[in-house]
Amino acid sequence: MNIAVFQVMLLGLVRDRGALAMGFLIPAAFFIVFATVFAAASGVDMRVQLAIADEAHSATSATLVATLRGLDVIDASGDRELTAEQVRARVRRGSADVGLIIRDAAGVGSKAEGESLVIVGDPVRGVAMSLLAGQLQRMHAPSDSEDASAGSGGPAAVEHEYVAGVSADLNHVAYYAGAVAVLFLLFSAVHGAVTLLEEEEAGILDRVLAGPAGAATLVNGKFLFLVAQGVVQVAVIFVVAWLLYGIDLPGHVVPWSLATLAASAAAAGLALALVTACTTRRQAQTLANVAILILSAIGGSMVPRFLMPPLLQDLGALTPNAWALEAYSAIFWRDEPVASLGLPIGILLGAGMLGLALAQRFARRLQTL
């Protein structure tokens, strides 16, 4: 009898392609994505983007820059001639994870000999600052080989300068408020969108689609609701972050509202497109769970993207998570004006509208077979 039950289970599994994929293929794919993301986050494959301004223009500073450019963990392949302000701007914008300004120590009144080094960083990317500081310390450490030391003139004075936010802790809170909000925005949007397939299974679509309200009416109505639900959902998270951790939500209500509306529209549109592309609720939920976890992993909702390998960082730019986090970063860390949010908000709204258009197209299948 046990064998009979075993046989039923086996045949049920073998004949259910969805269950087979869910059981054996998707976990392996998941493992690859998460292993890549989290292995990178542990520092093994980390490669931080470094912006350098060499104001000392000395042989020592040139050697230091050349040595830094040769390190595996640092990507300093950007523009060679940057000013200190350009370095600060890049770090503030997030196009560099950390910056280094090399000054002539004498010029800045330092007691140290040689160059004075300023590590410019964003508190939320403290790992990148620490990594650079560690590399600089290693270069100036006594060594058996004199050639191994770039700072042959003695250890340079190293200062730290933050270009965004008031504290690292607060910026982490703002970052993760956005990260968690977008993750759950996607889950809630899919949960809401799936009601379309529930309504089909319940026969409600038979009744509704026979009347003057077509499939587009249903999709549009659900889209509006999901956007409103998303805005409230994200608001709850940020209000908690404001009340418990002190992030400055009241001071950024307008840009936050725009970014949240755009992120909610993106989540609603994409969720509806995904659900209307599926034929059963189970299929939609399985696919959505996998898609959301992967989007969130590579989009920065679990681990900041700068900790990921370059390929994943590039792929992350295709996710709504990355653009929502970019918008929230600009608002809460970099305190940028509303006008500077045009790109992330535009991309999020575009994704939402594209998703809505696709959902309307896919929903025609529901209208007439």
Partner 1 sequence: MNPSSLAPLPEAAPPVDDSGTAVLEVRGARRQLGRHPAIAGVDLAVARGEIYALLGANGAGKTSLLRAISGRLALDAGSIRVAGRDPRRDREARRALGVVPQQLALYPQLSARQNLSVFGRLAGVARRGLTAKVERALDRVGLAARGDDRVAALSGGMQRRLNIVAGTLHEPLALVLDEPTVGVDLHARQRIHDLLRDLRGDGIGILLATHDLEQANVLADRVGILARGRVCAEGAPRELIEDAFGDAQELTVTLGEAADASGRRLLAHEGLAPLSDGMTWERRLERGMGQAAALGARLAEAGLTVASMRVRAPTLASVVLRWTGEELEP
Q: From the CB of 203, what's the least distance to partner 1, in Å?
A: 3
Distance CA 86, CA 83 (A): 5
Do residues 87 and 101 make contact, with C-beta atoms less than 8 angstroms apart? yes
Whichever of 208 and 353 has its CB closer to partner 1, that residue is 208
Whichever of 93 and 281 has its CB closer to partner 1, that residue is 281
> Which uninterrupted H or E stretch holds 316?
helix 310-316
Residue 100 in 3-state DSSP? Answer: strand
Q: From the CB of 289, what's the least distance to partner 1, in Å?
A: 23
Contact segment (CB under 8 A) with partner 1 among 33-41, 152-160, 197-205, 226-234 equals: 197-205
Q: From the CB of 282, what's the least distance to partner 1, in Å?
A: 18
Q: What are phi and psi of 43, to 5 degrees?
A: 105, -10
Q: From the CB of 366, what's the least distance to partner 1, in Å?
A: 8
- 142 touches partner 1 by CB under 8 A: no
Whichever of 214 and 350 has its CB closer to partner 1, that residue is 214
By C-alpha distance, which of 21, 102, 19 is closest to 65? 102
Whichever of 212 and 250 has its CB closer to partner 1, that residue is 212
Figure out which of the listed residues 4, 210, 244, 339 binds partner 1, where binding follows CB under 8 A.
210
State the Cα torsion 180-183-189-192 to the nearest 10°. -80
Q: Mention every residue, 6+ apart, whose C-beta is less than 8 A from residue 294.
A: 30, 33
Whichever of 79 and 206 has its CB closer to partner 1, that residue is 206
Q: From the CB of 363, what's the least distance to partner 1, in Å?
A: 12
207 CB burial (10 A radius; 0-12, 13-18, 19+): exposed
Whichever of 208 and 277 has its CB closer to partner 1, that residue is 208
Distance CA 316, CA 298 (A): 5
Q: From the CB of 362, what's the least distance to partner 1, in Å?
A: 15
- 204 touches partner 1 by CB under 8 A: yes
DSSP 191: H
Distance CA 331, CA 247 (A): 11
Figure out which of the listed residues 16, 169, 206, 314 binds partner 1, where binding follows CB under 8 A.
206
- 213 touches partner 1 by CB under 8 A: yes
- 217 touches partner 1 by CB under 8 A: yes
Size of the site for partner 1 (CB under 8 A): 16
Question: What's the Cα-to-Cα distance from 234 to each of 72, 184, 215, 265, rounded to whole Å?
Answer: 39, 9, 28, 12
By C-alpha distance, which of 157, 155, 138 is closest to 73? 138
Q: From the CB of 278, what's the least distance to partner 1, in Å?
A: 18
Q: From the CB of 344, what's the least distance to partner 1, in Å?
A: 36
Do residues 118 and 77 make contact, with C-beta atoms less than 8 angstroms apart? no
- 159 touches partner 1 by CB under 8 A: no
Figure out which of the listed residues 70, 142, 203, 250 binds partner 1, where binding follows CB under 8 A.
203
Site for partner 1 in 338-367 (CB under 8 A): 367
- 224 touches partner 1 by CB under 8 A: no
Contacts with partner 1, residue ranges (CB under 8 A): 202-213, 217, 367-369
